Chains A and B, each alone.
Chain A
Amino acid sequence: MATVTLDKINKVYPNGFHAIHDLDLEIADTEFLVLVGPSGCGKSTALRMIAGLEEISGGEMHIGDNVVNDVEPKDRDIAMVFQNYALYPHMTVRDNIGFALKLAKTPKAEIDAQVEEAARILELTEQLGKRPGQLSGGQRQRVAMGRAIVRQPSAFLMDEPLSNLDAKLRVQMRAEIARLQRDLGVTTVYVTHDQVEAMTMGDRVCVLKDGYLQQVDTPQNLYDKPDNVFVAAFIGSPSMNLNEGNLAGTTLTLGSHTIELSADVFEKRPGLRQFDGRDVIVGIRPEDLEDASLAPEEKKGATIATTCTLTEALGSEIIVHFELDAPRVDAGDPDAVNDLGEYAAVGRFDPRSRVTIGDAIEIAVNTGNLHFFDPQSRSAVW
């Protein structure tokens, strides 16, 4: 059990690529911290530096009270779960799980006891005699977990451990890993590119982009109060609609549409007054849009009339794409697929909505939940 602290950590590769810029991060004892970001954001690099597999170019890394910059991985008292599991293919599950203990010259009886215990927790007892090649994807994942927990390390490091599982198993293992971490109470750093994993598993989530820390906060705060355009678009699915708008008094213009903002919007975000008469980036979560005919009265802050271009019925909800003639703002996520086109937005409607492609629709906007960002700095306006 230990805290992990990153103090102005930098990573510069020999070819000059600056992968991590001044990363400050404090991971509390027993905390589950998720590092999330698009591909190439440096999240795996950061994790590998904590593990000691990657040299630290600048800054100080602490695990517990020790500076570990120059400490070998094996002496850092950490266990790592790799994306591809990295099981030893020529060893049985038992030997795989017990490998670290064997290297540490633990007595045989003790190794056996601890391996059995880990296998029991992970429901692998039946598989102990098998080789990794005989196991299913989910079981291999468990063996990789078993290899980590059997050592009782002061920190778990997990590098996208679920990305090779199919969707259903991933959801199941997600819950299982989170439960396991809570039961064992071991500080955990978890890397993923999947924001759903990040939101559901982490005590806190750290969003990275291009090697820069964007925001660290609890999942709910990230969702409610994103610090900048990138975090706003990255967290939430479907992602937030971000469009260029213009503010004049209490009237917000989005393309050809106007939305009247109530006084409590300005109360909540006093900084918004400075944007009077100026352009501002408006963020609308799809959840805050609703078919006007179905919207509860109190949520009908404003309505916009437009045309539906696509619907995706998911049973529990309908994802509605519609025309919005305000220019979209690129959030800077390299993984984002822009299939919407320049002038389109997404809403998440109640399944009772009967909207179909080509319909003229009226959409209720929950103005109280609108997000505003500075077009220059791209950070949130509060």
Chain B
Amino acid sequence: MHDNNSLIDRIYRRLSNVPMWVMWGIVVIWTIPSLSLFINSFRSRTRQRDSGFWEFVRDGDRDYQFGCPEDYNAPDLFHMIENYCMVLSNDQSSGMLSSVISSLAIAVPSTIIPISIASFAAYAFAWIDFKGRKPLFIGTVALLSIPLQVALIPLLIMYSGGAHFTIPFTERTLTMVPDFALAGGPWAVVLTHTGFAMPFAIFLLHNYMSSLPGELIESARVDGADHFSTFVRLVLPLSVPAIAAFAIFQFLWTWNDYLIAVVMLNGGTPEVFPTTQRIANLAGDFGEYEHLLTAGAFVQAFVPLVVFFSLQRYFVRGLLAGSVKG
């Protein structure tokens, strides 16, 4: 572990020699695009189109009152948070509030369900000795290599009509999966996310759980714990850093997903569209709400930030401190 000559260590040492001001320079450069988006999200449509974001200092001829405007069409009056007022309304053409709810309804279960299933599976793969454990695990991990795109259409067909198998040369048809009519609703998206998250979740959690000291698990066994209590009382609490890491990635991925949502929600009502889909449609057919994209993008980006910072404290270093020595 402390192999000083490994490539990573050498890169790390090189990087730690870079002066601080260079780092700050990089930070500034990387922040500029977000900053421009952020500043423009407070500017009116005409201002956004006429001048660059750095011109915002000259926007002082506006009425910068707080609160949402009563009349959105008053020509000279622009409220600072007007764009946000419009984006966070329930307005059919300009609002995206309902899509935030939809996104949450998709991303939250799409994060929690895979974790709850995968942590059980990962424990079994790591600590229960059963026949075929290794091939099954390899098979599960091998699923990582299946590209999402190849499964989209089959899944969509399965969600909208069930899966049926006609036995060759006979008239018989077996129904493998009945038609639950999921397509066009959030569950179609959630199930797809769950399925595709599973291999990676199992892989990640298995690697973490199997690195827990074996003596701990054995100690629990001698203390009288069956697999379930070992899992719930010991392995799960100790796996919190891995679970939090996976939760952040999975939430980000499902929150930002567009492809699966577009395919699975095709034909559904616009109320079930997540933010990504809503933003894509926000500009409108003739671009009359183009200027709302900046505010919309910020609303869309805000939730993952909250998730990230609230889960960050679970990345605890030294969680195992004091358990075993050596």
Contacts and interface: CB of A to CB of B under 8 A. Distances in A.
Interface string B233-253: 110011000000000000000
A84 interface: yes
Interface residues of B, number: 26
B225 A103 contact: yes
Interface centre among A79, A80, A137 (most CB of B within 10 A): A80
Given A84-B213, A89-B238, A133 B322 contact: yes
Contacts of A104: 224
Contacts of B218: 51, 53, 73, 80, 82, 86
A90 B319 contact: yes
B219 A86 contact: yes
A164 B319 contact: no
Contact of A140 (B222, B223, B322): B322
Given A73-B221, A103-B229, A89 B323 contact: yes
A164 B216 contact: no
A80 B222 contact: yes
B318 interface: yes
Given A90-B238, A103-B224, A164 B325 contact: yes
Interface string A110-133: 000000000000000000000111
Given A80-B222, A103-B224, A90 B325 contact: no
Nearest to A48: B218
B104 to A, nearest CB: 30
Given A86-B213, A86-B216, A74 B321 contact: no
Interface string A143-158: 0000100010000000
A82 B323 contact: no
A131 to B, nearest CB: 6
Interface in A70-89: 72-74, 78-80, 82-89
Contact of A134 (B229, B320, B322): B322
Nearest to B234: A88
Nearest to A153: B222
A201 B318 CA distance: 35
A84 B229 contact: no
B222 A74 contact: yes
| Interface size, A (range) | 20 to 34
Contact of B216 (A73, A74, A88): A88
A310 interface: no
B220 to A, nearest CB: 8
Contacts of B325: 84-85, 137, 140, 164
A280 to B, nearest CB: 44
Contacts of A78: 222
Contact of B225 (A74, A83, A132): A74
Interface string A326-341: 0000000000000000
Interface string A81-111: 0111111111000000001100110000000
A370 interface: no
Contacts of B323: 84-89, 132-133
A137 B324 CA distance: 10
Given A85-B323, A86-B215, A147 B238 contact: no
B168 interface: no
B147 interface: no
B326 interface: yes
B324 A86 contact: yes
A82 B218 CA distance: 9
Contacts of A79: 222
Interface string B304-326: 00000000000000111111111
A316 to B, nearest CB: 32
Nearest to A72: B221
A74 B222 CA distance: 5
B129 to A, nearest CB: 10
A53 B222 contact: yes
Contacts of A72: 221
A151 B322 CA distance: 22
Contact of A135 (B224, B234, B322): B322
Given A86-B213, A90-B237, A103-B224, A80 B219 contact: yes
Nearest to A82: B215
B214 to A, nearest CB: 9
A74 B221 contact: yes
A332 B326 CA distance: 28
A135 B325 CA distance: 12
A116 B310 CA distance: 37
Contacts of B234: 88
B233 to A, nearest CB: 8
Contacts of A140: 322, 325
Nearest to A51: B222
Contacts of A135: 322
Nearest to B237: A90
B229 A85 contact: no
Given A82-B219, A164-B326, A89 B224 contact: no
A137 B321 CA distance: 12
A24 B225 CA distance: 30
A74 B223 contact: yes
A53 B216 contact: no
A156 B226 CA distance: 20
Interface in A35-52: 51-52
Interface string B163-197: 00000000000000000000000000000000000
Contacts of A74: 221-226
Contacts of A131: 322
B321 A103 contact: no
Contacts of A80: 218-219, 222
Contacts of A53: 218, 221-222
A133 B219 CA distance: 18
Interface centre among A79, A103, A135 (most CB of B within 10 A): A103
Task: Please name the 10 residue pairs, one residue from A and one from B, whose CB atoms are nearest each other, closest first.
Answer: A132-B322, A133-B322, A84-B324, A133-B321, A89-B323, A74-B224, A86-B215, A86-B219, A100-B223, A103-B224
5 contacts: A73-B222, A83-B215, A86-B213, A99-B233, A104-B224
Given A86-B219, A88-B216, A89-B319, 8 more contacts: A72-B221, A74-B222, A84-B324, A86-B218, A89-B323, A99-B225, A103-B225, A137-B325
Interface of B: 213, 215-216, 218-226, 229, 233-234, 237-238, 318-326
